[in-house]
Amino acid sequence: MRVTTASLVSTSLLLGQASALPHYHEGTKFFYENGTQFYMKGVAYQQESAAGGASTGSTKYTDPLANTAACKRDVPLLKALNTNTIRTYAVDPDADHSECMKLLDDAGIYVISDLSEPSLSINRDDPKWNVDLYKRYTGVVDNLSKYSNVIGFFAGNEVTNNNTNTPASAYVKAAVRDTKAYIKTNVNRWMGVGYAANDDPDIRAQIAYYFNCGNQSDAIDYWGYNIYEWCGSSTLQDSGYDKQIEFFKNYSVPVFFAEYGCNLPNGADGRIFEETTALYEKEMTDVFSGGIVYMYFEEANDYGLVSVKGSSASTMKNYDALKTRMASVAPSATAMDSYKPTNSPASCPELSKSWAVKGGTLPPTPDSNLCDCMYSSLSCVPADSTDAKDYGAIFNYICGAAPAACAGINGNTTTGVYGAYSMCNPKQQLGYVLDQYYQSQNSAKDACDFKGKAVLKSGNAESKCSSALSSASSVNSIAATATSDVGGGTSGGSAGAATSSNAAVAGGPMRGLFGLGELAVGLYVVVAMGVGAGMVLL
């Protein structure tokens, strides 16, 4: 069982390589392999990792695809709702998912999953795309790619969520690029990589265009919208859905609701799902490919369809409302044979007060070999006993005293200048910065001390490393003075020090859980978005 997109077939035919994977992604619709159009009839399926609103800094999450008993309990209820897709927010790449995936497959249910988890995600306030995140993302791809009912992934969920944190989108787009490339090299079938966005009026157009613009190897395969603007009884006009239809009419990849289901005015159980009916009617289906109801589990945020206690699950009133709606939707289907995509990718947005990301240049691809080579070549490194929470102070000191030392680990999304080691992990970056500082002080012994937090070692540049190290070094010396486009592209470095926060887990309107990055000491971010506020912001 698998879903594909028009491009898989049409591009292959154009290139005359029926078995080749698509290089470019065109077309705004999803299709089954047999050529029938596919509409997502989805439900978000992941328990909150912490009670809603609790910013404990806990990084624990419950992998919804690793609990066979829960899948046995829940899959029949999902199937009875006519669900054909679940969205999961954090899965464990080392867990065994085979039983849940089989139960889902047998029920005709696909999976679309976020790639991050609370402690390994792109942090909107301190964004990175580094070797630790790359390992996490590709680990999830490895583990889920063997199941044919996986449609694809989200490289981020509401990471940039307003005009104060647009730089994070550069790092998410680099993650899109690298995850797509990884799939293309390692997986013998199409799986998509997209982004799930909130709806913020200040950046609505820029962010949608940004993820779609430029080289299509770097661009999203689909756009997911988390949208809560139809509450109770409404209309296409009052909910602003009509403006979304208008906006996405000329978008070049599929668009669907990655979350929907406003719980106003009467809580989860007061939901009547009028918008579900609208979503599968012609005005919407011309442009949208269905959507994912938020969410299966009734929890503190009150968006559930089913109340779960231990091994028992009881469906709620709004489950029945959704079931009735779903049973009667009949979206008109375009046949793949007669479908000719006509839309083209957007142009990248201009830099402006509300968009601080240059199109075209992305942070570099994480390369752990290069980082390892760099680290072993260093003479001054963090002492083994140095705690990650001490890193920040040392970075601040050195980057303040000797800014050039830090050019190799920094990234600037408005200029498109990225140090070659901006994609290494925090310890490797600290080593690089310590060593740069030490060298800049003519290798004075006391320049590698920092109260015992740094130590000397013998630098050992292996010969297999020399050419990579010398290109990185030239990128970094240009980056130290450059004002545009250095170090980005397909390899080199991105991202600075910490990872984490704003993971997709608990993608709902009350995002309760935020991980703490190694360096993000004391960073508690509680997002209480105003979504669901029935307001037409368009």
The least distance separating ligand NAG from the CB of residue 537, rounded to whole angstroms, comes to 12
291 within 8 A of 329, measured Cβ to Cβ: no
209 versus 450: smaller Cβ distance to ligand NAG: 209
453 within 8 A of 446, measured Cβ to Cβ: no
Judged by CB under 6 A, does residue 332 bind ligand NAG? Answer: no
- Site size for ligand NAG, by CB under 6 A? 25
Site string for ligand NAG, 58-97 (x = CB under 6 A): ------------------------------------xxx-
Bond from prior residue into 284 cis (ω within 30 degrees of 0)? no
Q: Return the residues of window 473-492 that contact ligand NAG according to CB under 6 A.
A: 483, 490
Judged by CB under 6 A, does residue 34 bind ligand NAG? Answer: yes
396 versus 483: smaller Cβ distance to ligand NAG: 483
Per-residue burial over 188-222, b = 16 or more CB atoms within 10 Å of its CB, e = otherwise:
eebbbbbbbbbbbeebbebbbbbbbbbebebbbbb
User: Active site includes 117?
Assistant: no
The least distance separating ligand NAG from the CB of residue 367, rounded to whole angstroms, comes to 14
Stretch that binds ligand NAG, among 29-37, 73-81, 276-284, 400-408 (CB under 6 A): 29-37
Interface residue with ligand NAG among 161, 179, 206, 377 (CB under 6 A) is: 161
Judged by CB under 6 A, does residue 337 bind ligand NAG? Answer: no
Q: Return the residues of window 236-255 that contact ligand NAG according to CB under 6 A.
A: 250-252
CA-wise closest residue to 226 among 164, 320, 330, 154: 154
357 within 8 A of 210, measured Cβ to Cβ: yes
The least distance separating ligand NAG from the CB of residue 521, rounded to whole angstroms, comes to 18
Phi/psi of residue 389, nearest 5 degrees:
-75, -10
Distance CA 214, CA 220 (A): 10
Q: Return the residues of window 91-110 that contact ligand NAG according to CB under 6 A.
A: 94-96
> Which of 158, 229, 275, 518 is an active site residue?
158
Handedness of CA 199, 227, 294, 182 (dihedral sign): negative
> Which of 48, 117, 229, 259 is an active site residue?
259
Phi/psi of residue 269, nearest 5 degrees:
-75, -5
Interface residue with ligand NAG among 146, 317, 389, 445 (CB under 6 A) is: 146
> Which residues, listed in sequence order, are joined to residue 447 by a DSSP beta bridge?
none
38 versus 437: smaller Cβ distance to ligand NAG: 38
Beta pairing, strands 3-5 & 30-32: antiparallel
What dihedral do alpha carbons 508, 348, 204, 345 form, nearest 10°? -80
Looking from the CA of 125 toward its CB, the CA atoms found within 13 Å total 16
96 versus 106: smaller Cβ distance to ligand NAG: 96
Other C-beta atoms closer than 10 Å to the C-beta of 257 total: 28
Site string for ligand NAG, 201-240 (x = CB under 6 A): --------------x-x-----------------------
Distance CA 432, CA 381 (A): 7
The least distance separating ligand NAG from the CB of residue 530, rounded to whole angstroms, comes to 9
The least distance separating ligand NAG from the CB of residue 456, rounded to whole angstroms, comes to 31
226 within 8 A of 42, measured Cβ to Cβ: no
User: Active site includes 158?
Assistant: yes
Stretch that binds ligand NAG, among 160-168, 236-244, 311-319, 468-476 (CB under 6 A): 160-168
Judged by CB under 6 A, does residue 162 bind ligand NAG? Answer: yes
261 versus 419: smaller Cβ distance to ligand NAG: 419
> Which residues, listed in sequence order, are joined to residue 120 by a DSSP beta bridge?
117
Judged by CB under 6 A, does residue 143 bind ligand NAG? Answer: yes
Judged by CB under 6 A, does residue 346 bind ligand NAG? Answer: yes
Q: Return the residues of window 359-418 that contact ligand NAG according to CB under 6 A.
A: 412, 414-415
| Tokens matching residue 217 | 């190897």
| Tokens matching residue 524 | 């508690």
Report which DSSP code applies to 457. Answer: -
Exposed/middle/buried for residue 88 (C-beta within 10 Å: 0-12, 13-18, 19+)? buried
The least distance separating ligand NAG from the CB of residue 110, rounded to whole angstroms, comes to 10
Distance CA 32, CA 18 (A): 16
Which residues are near ligand NAG by CB under 6 A? 32, 34, 36, 94-96, 142-143, 146, 161-162, 164, 215, 217, 250-252, 344, 346, 412, 414-415, 483, 490, 527
> Active-site positions?
158, 259
